[in-house]
Amino acid sequence: MPKKHSNDKRVNILLVEDEESFVDALTIGLDREGFDVAVARDGQQAVALFAKETFDIVLLDLMLPKMSGLDVCRQIRASSEVPIIIVSAKGEEVDMVLMLEIGADDYVTKPYRLRELVARIRAVLRRRETHESVPTSDDEIELGPIRMDIDARRCFVNGEEIKLRKKEFALLRLLLENPGRVLTREVLIDRIWGSDYVGDTKTLDVHIKRLRTLIEDSPKNPEHITTVRGVGYRYEATKPSA
Ligand code: CA
């Protein structure tokens, strides 16, 4: 993401939407919230506009004339890491896992409140920033309250060491290596347990639950290891702001 002047907070949004009522309401609402909005009314227009101008984030409707939202997402991802939020209509059959696989950052379902949408947009942008500012090192990961010393297999929360079992360590490491990204249950299970994973599909949740009791201030209202319902989990370094 290009660095902007600190007093220039306006964010460029590419709004891909074919329903006029949504376009009108969003253009006005998002402008008021400090976003600059460019509108594409079909998939082809979206791809063309994206190639021509620079955007900070893309808000992408799924059902579009000429080219589907999924194809637009694939096309954009072929050349750009720009954050993409997918918008689907209520009752539409949506494969969340597929959307994340093709590189969407988040999704919202119509109808939604402008406030909810703006919160999602800001959260996605914030996660990207956090992600980009993390210095990576081979043997140490430090992110939010957690520091992991990979070689020594030690883990610290706010400077205090916690004891993790082997799979718990591997699971936490994988989450920290992908900050802000949703990791699907399938990916987590495959990467941590692989063919060792037998029977009980609750094993992953049990491990997540134990990690939360160790790292969260309030394990029942987790702020770092968050659940993406029906899809998987993600690690957020910064607490969601109120
Ligand atoms: Ca549509």
Residue ranges in 137-184 assigned as alpha helix (H): 166-176
Q: 83 alpha carbon to ligand 1 midpoint, in Å?
A: 20
Q: 16 alpha carbon to ligand 1 midpoint, in Å?
A: 9
> Does the fold of domain 140-235 match that of domain 11-133?
no
Phi, psi of 172 (to 5 degrees): -65, -40
Which pLDDT belongs to residue 136? 55
- Tokens encoding 189: 């299970």
Q: 95 alpha carbon to ligand 1 midpoint, in Å?
A: 16
Q: 19 alpha carbon to ligand 1 midpoint, in Å?
A: 6
By the 8 A CB rule, do 124 and 83 touch? yes
Q: 17 alpha carbon to ligand 1 midpoint, in Å?
A: 6
Q: 4 alpha carbon to ligand 1 midpoint, in Å?
A: 32
- Tokens encoding 34: 């400090």
Q: 220 alpha carbon to ligand 1 midpoint, in Å?
A: 37
Paired strand residues for 227: 233
- CATH domain 140-235 topology: Arc Repressor Mutant, subunit A (1.10.10)
Phi, psi of 54 (to 5 degrees): -100, 130
Q: 181 alpha carbon to ligand 1 midpoint, in Å?
A: 26
Residue type, 180: G
Across the chain, the runs of DSSP E, i.e. the strands, are 11-16, 35-40, 57-61, 84-88, 106-109, 140-143, 146-149, 154-157, 160-162, 183-184, 225-228, 232-235
Q: 64 alpha carbon to ligand 1 midpoint, in Å?
A: 5
Angstrom distances, CA of residue 140 to CA of 53, 144, 178: 38, 13, 14
Q: 22 alpha carbon to ligand 1 midpoint, in Å?
A: 9
Q: 65 alpha carbon to ligand 1 midpoint, in Å?
A: 8
CA distance 234 to 124: 12
Domain ranges (residues) in the chain? 11-133, 140-235
Helices then strands (H, E): number in the chain?
8, 12
Which pLDDT belongs to residue 3? 44
Which pLDDT belongs to residue 242? 41
Look at the block and give the residue holding tokens 């637009």.
72
Q: 163 alpha carbon to ligand 1 midpoint, in Å?
A: 49
CA distance 18 to 27: 13
Q: 40 alpha carbon to ligand 1 midpoint, in Å?
A: 11
Look at the block and give the residue holding tokens 């610290």.
156
Question: Measured in Å, how far apart are the chain's first and last C-alpha atoms?
Answer: 24
Q: 60 alpha carbon to ligand 1 midpoint, in Å?
A: 9
Query: Consecutive 10-residue runs of the chain (242 residues): their mean pLDDT?
Result: 52 96 93 95 97 95 93 92 88 76 84 89 81 62 90 93 94 89 86 74 89 95 91 81 45
CA distance 186 to 188: 6
CATH class of 11-133: alpha beta
Which pLDDT belongs to residue 127? 76
Q: How many CA atoms lie within 13 A of 73 on its CB side?
A: 24
SS3 94: coil
